[in-house]
Amino acid sequence: MSRFEGKVALVTGASRGIGRSIALRLAAEGADVVVNYRSHPDEAEAGVAEIVALGRRALAWQADVADRDAVAALVAGAVARFGRLDIAVANAGFSVREPVLTARWENVRQVVEVNQAGVFHTCQFAVQQMAAQPLTGRSRGKILVISSILAEIAPPGNSAYNMAKAAVNHFAETLAAEMTAYRINVNILNPGWIDTPGERHYATEQELRAAGPRIPWGRLGHPDDIAAAAAFLLSDEADYITGATLRVDGGMVLGLRLP
């Protein structure tokens, strides 16, 4: 399958986890990929090597998405290297889990700057580039915001992250409405509980193994589950879909059985 042959994609937070899986899936289907990362440079370069091994071009680019100027340089660098930008996946995320009562403002601000402002920066600079490109085929470009089911449900102890994810979903819907005139699709993907390296900050391996059977589908999600859904929303098969939110959670929201 070569749904992205000749396309150039930018994926933020792509050195590991969901972002890495999306970057590799797009490359496997023909895209050249800019692998953005903030930390974990070795893993970013390893991802680039995997993409090159698939016969595609790739570039690792360090940028903190909370830094507006850095994101502007990231998008400009992608275009300078590959000549255009067809796909942007706003995936980079950050979380500090604290209850509202004792949350430290510096942590709240960082969570909001990465998860909310970072999405705004990524999407704005991407659509500015896409809108200036000629229409080729069905669309000038595809934007995908990787959000969370925590935009829909509000577990305690995660207030800043919950707030930021709810905000970016509403932002993405607004952007989708504005971009129809330019034929730029903007959609949202809400992952459930996904088995990523970041989960190890909050749970042990034993706790993660025990959590899977409590999810209605019987397991934690895998980054490849999210990548498969992302590839659909970013393809021409989803040409008539914009402003939509796709939940990929193994039934977790509808049949939550976690304590």
Looking at residue 127, which CATH number applies to its domain? 3.40.50.720
Q: Is residue 179 part of a domain?
A: yes
Q: Do residues 169 and 146 touch, judged by C-beta distance below 8 A? A: no
Q: Is residue 15 part of a domain?
A: yes
Number of structural domains (the chain) is: 1
Q: Do residues 248 and 225 touch, judged by C-beta distance below 8 A? A: yes
For the chain, give the number of residues: 259
Two tokens, residue 240:
């008539």
> In terms of residue numbers, what domain contains 233?
8-248
110: exposed, middle or buried (C-beta count within 10 Å: 0-12, 13-18, 19+)? Answer: middle
Q: CB-based contacts of 170: which residues, under 8 Å, 6+ apart? A: none
Question: What pLDDT is stored for residue 233 in this prediction?
Answer: 98
Residue 156 Cα to chain centre, angstroms: 23
Question: What pLDDT is stored for residue 259 in this prediction?
Answer: 46
Question: What pLDDT is stored for residue 129 in this prediction?
Answer: 98
Q: pLDDT truncated to tens, each residue of the chain (259 aa)?
A: 699 999 999 999 999 999 999 999 999 999 999 999 999 999 999 999 999 999 999 999 999 999 999 999 999 999 999 999 999 999 999 999 999 999 999 999 999 999 999 999 999 999 999 999 999 888 999 999 999 999 999 989 999 999 999 999 999 999 999 999 999 999 999 999 888 877 777 777 888 888 888 888 999 999 999 999 999 999 999 999 999 999 999 999 988 654 4
Two tokens, residue 165:
């994810």
Q: Catalytic positions, please?
A: 161
Question: What pLDDT is stored for residue 256 in this prediction?
Answer: 61
Q: Is residue 2 part of a domain?
A: no
Question: What pLDDT is stored for residue 136 in this prediction?
Answer: 81
Q: Is residue 259 part of a domain?
A: no
Q: Is residue 56 part of a domain?
A: yes
Q: Is residue 71 part of a domain?
A: yes
Question: What pLDDT is stored for residue 199 in this prediction?
Answer: 74
Q: What are the strands of the beta sheet with 245-248, ordered from one edge?
A: 58-62, 32-37, 8-11, 87-90, 141-146, 184-191, 245-248
